[in-house]
Structure 1
Amino acid sequence: MNLEQQLTERLNTLAPSHLEVINESAGHGGYFPGKESHFKVIIVSEVFAGLRLVQRHQKVYAVAAELLSPSKIHALAIHAYLPSEWQGEAPTSPECAHAPKV
């Protein structure tokens, strides 16, 4: 099972009504086909009710902890929403200064 699948499996424990796990590794320096190092997560769940943004992120980090290391996931962008907050679109990711130039 690749890192994206493992991350998805762990995030599903937060009972999301919407979940997107996007591998953004290709937009970062040192990329090669198959590399999994940079991910963006969009997660919508009632488990975030009453939590501040930092606490929502801590919940995501807690379930993904085993995958967050230099030899696995290097960077994780988290967009965590309650269903009442979700507008159907998350912010776009900034371009990496070390991204391969096409």
Structure 2
Amino acid sequence: MFLSPFRIQIRSFSTKPGPICALIKDKIEKSAIKPYHVELINESYKHNGYKRGRETHLQLIVVSHEFESVPLLERHRRVNELVKDIVHEHKIHALSLYTPNPSMWYRTYEKGLKLDEVYRTPPCLGGQVKELSEQTQRIEQEKMKQQEAQKTMET
């Protein structure tokens, strides 16, 4: 599967890409990164508190020749720098990046792997992290009480 230069794609599953995806796409298209392939996936529907039309959880795939011999962290910094104002202004909760150079991109497809098998966005806990932490503490406290009660009964 060959991708033509500057192929820009917005993929949609349960949520339609909206104006925020369009802003990000436009910003990257006009950047010095000179993308070979850009893909935005609105994954907001997978996350807690999803409301129709929201663009809060996005996966951004940017393939560029400019990324040859550039470490992963630096590639992510470059992309983040480009879109940071949009992310901040529109309160994007999560922006997952996949930034391969073209040779990495082709190797993925030569093996017959789909992107989802290679790079999956982790599940979002959203506001549940604190709740889960408190729940874990309560369970641990209960276990300690039970152990103490058991020791008391044994003596």
Paired with 1:16 and 1:25, the residues of 2 have a C-alpha distance of 24
Aligned AA for 1:19? V
What is the Cα-based RMSD across aligned positions, in Å? 1.8
Letter in 2 for 1:29: N
- Which residue of structure 1 lines up, in the alignment, with residue 22 of structure 2? 5
Q: Which runs of 4+ in 1 moved over 4 A?
A: none
Deviations 1:13-60 (A, max 9, x none): 221111110111111112100111110011110111221111000000
Pair 1:28-2:43 in alignment = no
3-state DSSP of counterpart to 2:119 = coil
What residue is the counterpart of 1:96 in the other structure?
A: 124
Distance 1:15 1:74 in 2: 26
> Does the residue aligned with 1:77 lie in a helix, a strand or coil?
strand
| Percent of aligned pairs sharing the same letter | 32
More helix by share: 2
Unpaired segments of 5 or more residues in structure 2?
Answer: 1-17, 110-114, 127-155
The TM-score, its normalising length taken from structure 1, stands at: 0.84
Gaps of 5+ in 1: none
Give the structure, 1 or 2, with the largest relative contact order (CA under 8 Å, sep 6 or more). 1
TM-score if structure 2 supplies the norm length?
Answer: 0.57
